[in-house]
């Protein structure tokens, strides 16, 4: 090209007048698997333009133990211990899923008192799990104080669990047909006293965080997902309800004695991070009310149905599910009539909720990715199994 | 037990040398009972409507405890799923679970099971389809429910089932260089050596 020739296309224009601005390229940022904000061994590969996320690839499987395959080789009573280790911050809720699945298959009903003990334990566990969520979520945004208060309360719940089952976590307390043993005489009074303390603790967190200006800046309008998309992705639990879908297994397909109890399903409207947080605050309050109602219904009686020690369900297939703190945890069992399942598959709520992470984060900033992941409240033990 | 079925013989670990044992001891084999089927009213209504609505797809309607089970040929699966989702009479908008069951020892087949739920009509069902043992492959339902994405990747890892049309069928729960399909029944549970 001669010097005086007119530019014929964009390319030649650029050669004549070089762009003074340096070219920018997208950068790959790796978060995890050993990163405190990923809440476990979870890795995200971010493609960022400056601070803005262009693409996100989640990598799971670092904790894959093949639990489902292991379950196929264990007695039904032994599987309960494996379920404890799925979602390891809401152990009772996991146990309830497997025992109710086997009970449904065998067509046995646990005694009414055992059902109420289970409900009380599960609701306490839901509060304990949500308390952990408030604290770690606040830490994700740099607020350390709430965690200290929440752990104080969570420790009280675990002390109660210890007095009932002998363990703070990994209880192995529920049995096919009931619970391991009756609760102590002072259980009811202790539970009621604990309810009051928890109510105070939840209010405290509410006052500390919910209306806090910095908190609002960081959470409202961030990571929005519509109810329709949330259903398409198979989300469940508080994440789905924050998007305005009133789906709660306790009401939708009542199990145990939840149909005798009166409680509300908190539902969000915007489907953003703030809604996902606040739905959990309201849910914990409902749990306190459920526990009080269940204690009022308690009557002396058996805690174990009259069934054989080694569960041997009939051949068939069953799908049972319960509302876990993280969502709809289900189990599909194929039985061939033996004392071990032929096939067992868990429907893991965290696994499904995590799928939507890419859609939620793209377009936001790196710091928001941490917040959005925090609101999904995943437990990797259950994501990877 | 003179005429033992092949699958029963393989499962029987204590009698591995079946030929040399004289007059096999009559093992107490409990009669296998089937779980009773009790369909709820909405399930009964669903089971009634299904054969008519899906008449062109060679389906077979059954039941398992409290759920309607619909068996579909593999090549009709995506059409059936799409119709179940879009038809206002069914509106199965929520894929609860997708899984594979290994029946290779019994029938030489894999079974893919879809657990569906309708948020509109509050009814549920299972859709099942059978795949041959050699090169099991089926169309992906990620176009119908996006939530099927990771389930299909996981089942591809563990059972080696190919989901045609899946946007990104790469290993999810297993390392990318892992050899074998650990979900299958023929994959040993404890096949490691101490070091």
CB within 8 Å: A233 and B96: no
- Which whole number is the average pLDDT over A112-118? 92
Q: How confident is the model at residue A40 (pLDDT cuts 50, 70, 90)?
A: confident
Q: Which residues contact B156 (CB under 8 A, 6 or more apart)?
A: B162, B163, B166, B169, B171, B172
User: Quick one: pLDDT at residue B15?
Assistant: 44
B56 versus B161: the higher-pLDDT residue is: B161
A235: left (phi over 0), alpha (psi -120 to 50) or beta: beta
User: Quick one: pLDDT at residue A119?
Assistant: 93
Q: How confident is the model at residue A17 (pLDDT cuts 50, 70, 90)?
A: low
CB within 8 Å: B99 and A384: no
pTM equals: 0.84
* Partners of B94 in the β-ladder: B117
* pLDDT greater than 90 at residue B40: no
- Is residue A214 classed exposed, middle or buried when 0-12, 13-18 and 19+ CB atoms within 10 A define those classes? exposed
What is the pairing mode between strands B109-117 and A316-324?
unpaired
User: Quick one: pLDDT at residue A312?
Assistant: 86
Q: Which of A86, A85, A92 is nearest to A125 (CA)?
A: A92
Name residues 309-368 of chain A within 8 A of B (Cβ): 312-319, 321, 328, 330, 332, 334-337, 342-343, 345, 347, 351-352, 354-355
Task: Confirm or reject contact between B152 and chain A (CB < 8 A).
Answer: no
Q: How far is CA B10 from CA A84, B6, B91, B132, B186, in A?
A: 32, 6, 43, 21, 11
Place of tokens 């990571």: A223
Residues of A in contact with B148 (CB under 8 A): 234
What is the pairing mode between strands B67-71 and A27-31?
unpaired
A107 versus B190: the higher-pLDDT residue is: A107
CB within 8 Å: B171 and A231: no
User: Quick one: pLDDT at residue A284?
Assistant: 93
Task: Confirm or reject contact between A294 and chain B (CB < 8 A).
Answer: no
- Which whole number is the average pLDDT over A11-35? 66
Q: B67 to chain A, minimum CA–CA distance in Å?
A: 8
CB within 8 Å: A321 and B102: no
Q: How confident is the model at residue B12 (pLDDT cuts 50, 70, 90)?
A: very low
Name residues 75-114 of chain B within 8 A of A (Cβ): 93-97, 99, 101-102, 113
ipTM value, please give it. 0.83
User: Quick one: pLDDT at residue B191?
Assistant: 64
User: Quick one: pLDDT at residue A36?
Assistant: 75
- The DSSP code for A206 is I
Quick one: closest CA in A to B148, which residue?
A: A233
Grouping H, G, I as helix, E, B as strand and the rest as coil, residue A163 is helix
User: Quick one: pLDDT at residue B195?
Assistant: 60
CB within 8 Å: B96 and A347: yes
Task: Confirm or reject contact between B13 and chain A (CB < 8 A).
Answer: no
- Which whole number is the average pLDDT over A63-71? 88
- Which whole number is the average pLDDT over A250-265? 89
Q: Where are the domains of chain A?
A: 66-384
Task: Confirm or reject contact between B170 and chain A (CB < 8 A).
Answer: no
Q: Structure tokens of A378?
A: 């995943």
Domains and CATH numbers, chain B: 33-140 (3.30.460.80)
User: Quick one: pLDDT at residue B26?
Assistant: 64
Q: How confident is the model at residue A8 (pLDDT cuts 50, 70, 90)?
A: very low
DSSP H/E element including B82: helix B77-86
CB within 8 Å: B97 and A319: yes
Q: B2 to chain A, minimum CA–CA distance in Å?
A: 21
Name which of B67, B148, B172 is nearest A61 (Cβ-Cβ): B172
Q: Which residues contact A39 (CB under 8 A, 6 or more apart)?
A: A136, A373, A374, A377, A378, A379, A380
Name which of B99, B173, B187 is nearest A384 (Cβ-Cβ): B173
Proportion of chain A above pLDDT 90, given as a percent: 40
* pLDDT greater than 80 at residue A318: yes
pLDDT tens-digit series, residues A277-316: 999 999 999 999 999 999 999 888 888 888 888 888 888 8
CB within 8 Å: B32 and A68: no
Average pLDDT for chain B: 80
Q: How confident is the model at residue B192 (pLDDT cuts 50, 70, 90)?
A: low
User: Quick one: pLDDT at residue B22?
Assistant: 58
What is the pairing mode between strands B67-71 and B124-132?
parallel
Quick one: closest CA in B to A230, which residue?
A: B147
User: Quick one: pLDDT at residue A12?
Assistant: 40
B38 versus A56: the higher-pLDDT residue is: A56
* pLDDT greater than 90 at residue A159: yes
User: Quick one: pLDDT at residue B25?
Assistant: 63
Burial A294-322 (b: 16+ CB within 10 A, else e): bbeebeeeebbbebeeebbbbebbbbbbb
CATH number of the A66-384 domain: 1.10.645.10
Task: Confirm or reject contact between B119 and chain A (CB < 8 A).
Answer: yes
Average pLDDT for chain A: 87
């Amino acid at each position: 090209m001669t010097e005086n020739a007119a530019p014929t296309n964009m390319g030649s224009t650029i050669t004549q007048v070089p762009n003074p601005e340096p070219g920018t390229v997208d950068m790959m940022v790796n978060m995890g698997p050993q990163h405190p904000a990923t809440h476990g061994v979870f890795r995200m590969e971010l493609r960022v333009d400056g601070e803005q996320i262009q693409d996100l690839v989640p990598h799971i499987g670092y904790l894959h133990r093949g639990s489902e395959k292991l379950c196929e080789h264990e007695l039904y009573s032994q599987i309960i211990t494996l379920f404890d280790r799925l979602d390891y911050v809401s152990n009772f809720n996991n146990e309830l899923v497997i025992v109710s699945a086997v009970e449904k298959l065998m067509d046995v009903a646990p005694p009414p008192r055992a059902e109420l003990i289970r409900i009380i334990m599960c609701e306490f566990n839901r509060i304990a799990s949500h308390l952990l969520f408030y604290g770690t979520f606040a830490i994700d945004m740099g607020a350390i104080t709430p965690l200290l208060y929440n752990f104080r309360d969570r420790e009280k719940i675990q002390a109660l669990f210890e007095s009932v089952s002998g363990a703070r976590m990994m209880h192995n307390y529920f049995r096919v047909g009931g619970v391991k043993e009756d609760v102590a005489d002072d259980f009811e009074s202790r539970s009621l006293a604990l309810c009051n303390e928890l109510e105070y603790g939840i209010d405290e967190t509410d006052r500390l965080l919910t209306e806090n200006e910095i908190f609002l800046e960081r959470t409202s309008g961030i990571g929005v997902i519509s109810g329709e998309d949330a259903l398409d992705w198979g989300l469940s639990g508080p994440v789905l309800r924050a998007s305005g879908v009133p789906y709660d297994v306790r009401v939708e397909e009542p199990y145990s004695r939840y149909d005798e109890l009166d409680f509300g399903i908190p539902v969000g409207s915007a489907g953003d991070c703030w809604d996902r947080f606040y739905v959990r605050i309201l849910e914990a309050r409902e749990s306190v009310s459920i526990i009080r109602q269940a204690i009022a219904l308690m009557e002396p009686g058996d805690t174990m149905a009259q069934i054989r020690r080694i569960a041997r369900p009939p051949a068939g297939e069953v799908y049972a599910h319960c509302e876990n703190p993280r969502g709809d945890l289900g189990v599909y069992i194929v039985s061939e009539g033996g004392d071990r399942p032929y096939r067992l598959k868990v429907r893991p709520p965290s696994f499904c909720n995590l799928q939507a992470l890419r859609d939620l984060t793209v377009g936001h900033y790196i710091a928001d990715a941490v917040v959005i992941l925090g609101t999904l409240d995943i437990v990797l033990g259950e994501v990877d199994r | 037990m003179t005429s033992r079925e092949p699958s029963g013989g393989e499962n029987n670990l204590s009698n591995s040398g079946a030929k040399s044992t004289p007059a096999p001891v009559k093992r107490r084999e409990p009669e296998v009972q089937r779980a009773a089927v009790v369909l709820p009213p909405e399930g009964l209504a669903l089971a009634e409507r299904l054969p008519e609505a899906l008449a062109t797809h060679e389906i077979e309607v059954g039941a398992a405890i409290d759920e309607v089970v619909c068996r579909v040929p593999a090549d009709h699966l995506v059409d059936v799923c799409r119709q179940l989702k879009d038809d206002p009479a069914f509106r199965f908008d929520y894929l609860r679970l997708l899984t594979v069951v290994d029946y290779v020892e019994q029938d030489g087949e894999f079974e893919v099971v879809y657990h569906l739920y309708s948020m509109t009509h509050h009814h549920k069902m299972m859709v099942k389809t059978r795949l041959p043992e050699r090169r099991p492959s089926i169309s992906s339902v990620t176009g119908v429910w996006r939530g099927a994405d990771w389930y299909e990747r996981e089942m591809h890892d563990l059972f080696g089932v190919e989901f045609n049309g899946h946007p990104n069928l790469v290993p999810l729960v297993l390392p990318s260089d892992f050899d074998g399909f650990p979900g299958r029944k023929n994959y040993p549970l404890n096949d490691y050596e101490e070091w």
